[in-house]
Amino acid sequence: MKAIMVMFDSLNRRLMQPYGCDWVHTPNFARLAARAATFENAYIGSMPCMPARRELHTGRYNFLHRSWGPLEPFDDSMPQLLDENGVHSHLVTDHQHYWEDGGATYHTRYTTHQFVRGQEGDPWQGVVGAGVVRDPNRNLRTRLQDQVNRGFLNEEALMPQAQTFAHGIDFIRANADEDDWFLQVETFDPHEPFFTQPGWKELYPHDYDGPLFDWPPYARVSETPEQVQHMRYEYAALMSMCDHYLGTVLDVMDELQLWDDTLLIVNTDHGFHLGEHDWWAKMRMPWYNELANIPFFIWDPRSKIAGERRRSLVQNIDVPATILEYFGLDRPADMQGQPLRDAVASDAPVRAAALYGGHGGHVNVTDGRHVYMRAAEREDNQPLYNYTLMATHMRYRYPPEDLQALALAQPFTFTKGCQTMKIPVTSNLLGIPSFETLLFDTGSDPGQLTPLQDAAAEARMSELLVDLMRANDAPDEQFERLGLSV
């Protein structure tokens, strides 16, 4: 038995043919939908990149206890469990955050791993005169480095995504006749910046004579309608490039007749705002469905379900459980995700509600129709702590001044008897603004344009939220922060 997971970053379901889009060219996603089960109610767990990847290893939520960071010493890791039980796990990716302090323990959990450099300001090519220096303005530094990198990515074959999929195809061809392997092909695209070669841009001809604009800010939309539309076309071009390289995996599965014995999962970590709700990007706004309701496809050779839709409420925390079950391995006791074999085969229910969010932001719950976004009760968003044994932020270690007030916390149910550091969060690292509590009925208001005023529905959703937080052994202060009873 074999398994392949193709993962994209910031992939928007609303711009894909299988989910109803009629203007973005995604024929291979449509081809995939005809060959697999397509899930309507797939949701994120933790935002953004590395918190989502922790869930893809551990099968449990990250965001109530910690922000961005590495795998913890007490974490169960799906690819490591495969390796320890005789299943070769291989990662090939161009996701540069694996190279940083805040992601440094993920790739080493795989039996083997392969990296491609050059995405989104990756500190890759050294051109001294380009002005890239270590200064407090990390955003400027990253953008300057990105311009340097682009000078070395001047043809399609050199693009990180193209190389990532080429290496993935090489692995498949080399091991097609072998058994017991898991391949994760993970590309950073279509994450910003929306950098493509001209051929992809020509799919979306339009009038635009302004400056380079393919990297939206994490902010409210202040640009003209023409600029907003141009950005959407830039994203669409990169989406079509992703679609093409997905097709290379489908092609090799056809050629080598891998459909008979190979599980295929295609997913993403989250979506991305392209002007909806007057926002760009992610993190700074409430977790609207443009971010939270994600594309998700599974081909399971045991049930051979193809071309069917599934309404079961699923999340990325279900991926590790699904892969372990496929290889006949037991789930660790701390893994909260569920195997999706029956959901694929017969749309069997997986959960009544799904929890999701980002550390220090809204805590959200959905039952597949209603979405409840619980905001912090106090304007200062306190109390809030990081619980970790791996004291790093996104790119750097915690500075000593942030560690001077740490205490040791009692073990959580999932830390295997280990105490963790309890580190006060005194600054808003992600710049998340405060918002009010919101309730939406996505059945009658799919665009989440009009918050619902319904006390009975809010009480029911609040109860689901509390139950899921308790099941995740959320720290007491998270309930206090949200004005909820423990």
pLDDT digits (tens, 9 = 90+) for 172-200: 999 999 999 999 999 999 999 999 999 99
Q: Do residues 248 and 360 share a domain?
A: no
DSSP assignment letter at 378: S
- 479 pLDDT band (50/70/90 cuts)? very high
- 381 pLDDT band (50/70/90 cuts)? very high
Residue 224 belongs to domain with CATH number: 3.40.720.10
Report how far residue 165's alpha carbon sits from residue 246's, in angstroms, rounded to the nearest whole number. Answer: 8
Could you say which of 319, 351, 383 is where a domain stops? 351
Q: Do residues 69 and 145 share a domain?
A: yes
Q: Do residues 248 and 380 share a domain?
A: no
Q: Do residues 190 and 58 share a domain?
A: yes
In the chain, how many domains are there? 2
- 129 pLDDT band (50/70/90 cuts)? confident
Contact 134, 141 (CB under 8 A): yes
Q: Which two tokens stand for residue 318?
A: 């279900």
- 430 pLDDT band (50/70/90 cuts)? low
Return the C-alpha torsion angle 440, 278, 50, 27, nearest 10: 90
Report how far residue 221's alpha carbon sits from residue 395's, in angstroms, rounded to the nearest whole number. Answer: 27
**Cα angle vertex 48, ends 44, 49, to 5°?**
100
Q: Do residues 331 and 361 share a domain?
A: no
The arithmetic mean of pLDDT across residues 120-132, rounded, is: 91
pLDDT digits (tens, 9 = 90+) for 31-75: 999 999 999 999 999 999 999 999 999 999 999 999 999 999 999
Q: Do residues 38 and 89 share a domain?
A: yes
Task: Give the pLDDT of residue 428.
Answer: 59
Could you identify the residue written with the tokens 């529905």? 457
Contact 49, 271 (CB under 8 A): no
Q: Which two tokens stand for residue 424?
A: 């006060």
Residue 377 belongs to domain with CATH number: 3.30.1120
Do the bridges between strand 88-93 and strand 112-115 make them parallel or antiparallel, or are there none, so unpaired?
Answer: parallel
Report how far residue 475's alpha carbon sits from residue 393's, in angstroms, rounded to the nearest whole number. Answer: 20
Could you identify the residue written with the tokens 């392949």? 4
* DSSP H helical ranges for 36-101: 49-58, 78-84
- 140 pLDDT band (50/70/90 cuts)? confident
| Omega cis (within 30) before 193 | yes
Share of the chain above pLDDT 90, in %: 93
pLDDT at residue 429 is higher than 60: no
**Cβ contacts of 172 within 8 Å, gap of 6 or more:** 4, 183, 249, 252, 253, 256, 258
DSSP assignment letter at 208: -
Is residue 462 classed as helix, strand or coil in its secondary structure? helix
Report how far residue 306's alpha carbon sits from residue 344's, in angstroms, rounded to the nearest whole number. Answer: 9
Amino acid at 295: P
Q: Do residues 414 and 455 share a domain?
A: yes
Q: Do residues 333 and 255 share a domain?
A: yes
Q: Do residues 62 and 111 share a domain?
A: yes
Q: Do residues 102 and 232 share a domain?
A: yes
- 431 pLDDT band (50/70/90 cuts)? low
The arithmetic mean of pLDDT across residues 203-228, rounded, is: 95
Could you say which of 351, 386, 401 is where a domain stops? 351
Q: Do residues 170 and 295 share a domain?
A: yes
Task: Give the pLDDT of residue 387.
Answer: 98
Could you say which of 330, 351, 372 is where a domain stops? 351
Report how far residue 75's alpha carbon sits from residue 16's, in angstroms, rounded to the nearest whole number. Answer: 34
Tell me what the pLDDT averaged over the chain comes to: 96
Q: Do residues 238 and 381 share a domain?
A: no
Give the domain extent around 420.
356-482
Radius of gyration of the chain from its Cα atoms, rounded to whole angstroms: 22
Report how far residue 166's alpha carbon sits from residue 181's, in angstroms, rounded to the nearest whole number. Answer: 18
